[in-house]
Amino acid sequence: MKIRNILLAIPLVLILIHFSSCRDDFDFDDYETRIEYYKNIRPGEQLDDNELNIVTWNIKLAFGNTGNDPWSNDIGGKPELIDSISQLLLSLNPHIVLLQEVPYNRENTVIKRVLDTIGISMNYNYAFGGHGFNSNGTYPTRSQWGIAILSKFEITQIENREVFNLNDIWSRRSVLNATLKIGDEKYLSAYSLHYFHGAPSTESFLSQVHKTREFYQESFFPKIIGGDFNYSNSIDTILNLTNCAPPGYDVIDKIYVSDEFDILEYYNENEESFNFSDHFA
């Protein structure tokens, strides 16, 4: 399998790789349960040419890059911004999108189901995994946020596994896995993550990486792992996967793949995405 392109602009990475069910059984107004769900809204495609185009992007809770603070009483998640995010992603024509800082039912966003809105606008199947809900004293108190996966392929199952927790809601972090059906009896494991950057020690931070490795090693399928690692130094030896970025290109937004894949191209996206987030796409 081959990776045709990787698009990385500090917050968003695009790669091309050679190579329905639905769960929505939760109370939308529940702010005390870590939410996870997925929806297939289109028939899954089949991977015919053995090349995958993959993007990763931290979308800054759909607050844009205008100085608005998601952790204040500023208002984000406005329809025009979410539409711009959807249109930019569509212009890249990805098979799989890995998103971070995705808001869910957030008190200070106009659109409450941001991922659903993006998925429906793009006509992509999608999955969400929450890190947790905000504790008292963290604004906005009625809020959840997490990671997400969008895909042209059918999502057959998901698991949202916690990999970090300092016993407060803000520092909880999860890794979302979606099993994707890419052909007859052919499957792929995609993982989206956003590591906690304020760990009290390097050892504590790297525990997230070790738990991610334990998580993905449970899958027998080819693997794609991407997101906001919040760590620019190499963690390649811990993950034991191929870093899609060329040597010397060390940024916090990364995509790793298992050895079934060959990387065909890796490049930075244009700066348009920086209008919609504090990360590039």
Question: pLDDT tens digits, residue range 43-102?
Answer: 999 998 889 999 999 999 999 887 888 888 899 999 999 999 999 999 999 999 999 999
Question: pLDDT tens digits, residue range 136-167?
Answer: 666 776 788 999 999 999 999 999 999 998 87
What average pLDDT score do residues 103-128 get? 95
Q: Residue 75: its pLDDT value, please?
A: 92
Question: pLDDT tens digits, residue range 163-201?
Answer: 998 876 667 899 999 999 999 999 999 999 999 887 778
What average pLDDT score do residues 256-267 get? 91
DSSP result, 142-187: S-EEEEEEEESSEEEEEEEEEEE--SSGGG-EEEEEEEEEEETTEE
pTM of the predicted structure, to 2 decimals: 0.90
| 264 token code pair | 């065909």
| pLDDT over 70 at 1, yes or no | no
Instruction: Report the C-alpha gap between 257 and 48 in whole angstroms.
Output: 19
Chain-centre distance for alpha carbon 189: 13
| pLDDT over 50 at 6, yes or no | no
Beta-carbon contacts of 80 under 8 Å, excluding residues fewer than 6 positions away, are: none
Q: Residue 252: its pLDDT value, please?
A: 86
Q: What average pLDDT does the structure give for the chain?
A: 85
Question: pLDDT tens digits, residue range 231-241?
Answer: 877 788 899 99
Whether 114 contacts 62, CB under 8 Å: yes
Confidence at 14, pLDDT banded by 50, 70, 90: low
Q: Where are the beta strands (DSSP E) in the chain?
A: 2-6, 12-18, 22-23, 36-39, 51-58, 96-104, 125-133, 144-151, 154-164, 173-183, 186-194, 223-228, 242-243, 253-257, 262-266
